[in-house]
Amino acid sequence: VDGDGGCVGTRLENANPVIFQRSGDRVQTASEEDEDVHDPIDDREIFDILSINDPEHPLSLEELNVVEQFRVKVNDAESTVGIEFTPTIPHCSMATLIGLSIKVKLLRSLPDRFKVLNKQLADKERVAAALENASLLEVVNQCLSTRTI
């Protein structure tokens, strides 16, 4: 991504990524649909929230194995969520954009009681400044948009 938020050139960093099978959607229980019943948030629910598109490919982070369910850790009692992700190639220049997309998706999806922490994105002022950049926010929103299959 260049300073204007656009892709630098047309060369992909990982032109031929390995594609993995999606795990499928989780079926909600009646208690999860009832707003009056406290239903703890679990690892699978967070994993399902993370249906995020890769910034370089017309694939999801799940399909590229960048995000895997076993790397999602939720402690509902402490209102914490931890997510590890693995870029498709070492030293991926898109890693920060992917991390920012994950953080924004969680901020938009989780109840306010959750604190979204990320070692690389811990500086709230830098994240806020990044999200004020219209071009960068547009790229993040593209990653978060729902794809039609």
* Highest-confidence segment of 15-19, 37-41, 70-74: 70-74
Q: Does 25 map to a domain?
A: no
- Domain presence at residue 24: no
Read off the pLDDT of residues 48-106 as tens digits, 9 standing for 90 and up.
Answer: 999 899 988 888 999 999 999 999 999 999 998 988 898 888 888 888 889 889 989 99
- The answer as to whether 28 is a domain residue is no
CATH code for position 51: 3.30.300.130
**Which distant-in-sequence residues (6+ apart) come within 8 Å of 50 by Cβ?**
61, 62, 67, 72, 83, 102, 105
Q: How far is CA 117 from CA 6, 84, 121, in A?
A: 27, 12, 7
Count up the domains in the chain and report the number: 1
Count Cβ atoms below 10 Å from residue 149 Cβ, excluding itself: 4
**Partners of 53 in the β-ladder:** 60
Question: Which residues form the domain of 110?
Answer: 39-144
* pTM (global) more than 0.85: no
